[in-house]
Amino acid sequence: MLAITGKDSVVIDTRTLTEFATGDTYGIEMPNNLAEYKQGKNGNAVIAYNASGEQGVLTLKMIRGGADDKYLMARMQEFINDTPSFVVVSGEVIKRLGDGAGNITADLYQLSGGAFQKMPIIKENVEGDTDQATVTYTIIGNFKRILG
């Protein structure tokens, strides 16, 4: 088995983000269990679907002060200024996977019902750390994975 990857894309609302920083530029973490399991007496068990298992956290590491940073900050400000009228964040993350024979599989995570979970993470460093020119956004929402 061979997997070749590249040309990933991240879309928030209808905007394709392009101003990613260095290192891990985006990530999705699914912090909750999709199922709960309780062992019972005499080998019995109860398994239950946990809907919060579809809740995920999208982290975006962007160039600080760029157009994408300004867009995301404006969307976050909409949430802060008038939460009840906020239009929830939607989007998708697509990882393209090639098999070395020209065939492509798209690993798609669709985001719905999203909101900004935290204020952007920034830092300053007097020793030349390049992360001081980046900003990290955290968006929480429901995710669905489609592999095809």
Listed by start position, the domains of the chain span 4-147
**pLDDT of amino acid 63:** 96
The pLDDT tens digits of the residues spanning 40-52 come to 999 999 999 999 9
Contact 14, 75 (CB under 8 A): no
Tell me: pLDDT of 85 over 90: yes
pLDDT band at 2 (very low <50, low <70, confident <90, very high): confident
> Is the Cα torsion angle 139, 145, 147, 148 positive or negative in sign?
negative
Using CA atoms, how far apart are residues 62 and 67, in angstroms rounded to an integer?
A: 10
Using CA atoms, how far apart are residues 81 and 70, in angstroms rounded to an integer?
A: 16
Tokens at residue 89, please?
A: 């964040």
Using CA atoms, how far apart are residues 35 and 52, in angstroms rounded to an integer?
A: 9
β-strand pairing of 104-116 with 89-98: antiparallel
Tell me: pLDDT of 9 over 90: yes
Q: Name the percent of the chain lying above pLDDT 90.
A: 86
The type of residue at 50 is: N
Tell me: pLDDT of 122 over 90: no
Tell me: pLDDT of 138 over 90: yes
Mapping DSSP to helix (H, G, I), strand (E, B) and coil, where does residue 136 land?
Answer: strand
Tell me: pLDDT of 78 over 90: yes
Between 94 and 24, where is the model more confident? 94
**pLDDT of amino acid 143:** 97
